[in-house]
Amino acid sequence: MFTLRGHDIEEFVGAVRRYGAETTQVKALVDAANAGPEIANVHIAQACGTCQLRAA
């Protein structure tokens, strides 16, 4: 299973502090984070048959 660990986030934040967020890839990530989720949690639950079974 892939996951982000605290160390990954801390290292990323440190790199952005040191070098800035002006590169295209970092700016795209910051923009995506600021935009918020495109799919609300309620829509994810309604789209998944397994989630429907667990809720019942």
What secondary structure letter does DSSP report for 39? Answer: S
pLDDT at 50: 72
pLDDT at 44: 62
Using alpha carbons only, what angle is made at residue 9 by residues 8 and 10, rounded to the nearest 5 degrees? Answer: 95
Q: Is 21 in contact with 27 (CB distance < 8 Å)?
A: yes
Domains in the chain, number = 1
Report if residue 1 sits inside a domain: no
How much is the CA Rg of the chain, to the nearest whole Å? 17
Each residue of 1-56: pLDDT tens digit? 667 778 888 888 888 888 888 877 888 888 888 898 787 666 666 666 676 666 65
pTM above 0.85, yes or no: no
Which residues have C-beta within 8 Å of that of residue 46, sequence separation ≥ 6?
52
Residue 32, domain extent: 6-55
Report if residue 35 sits inside a domain: yes
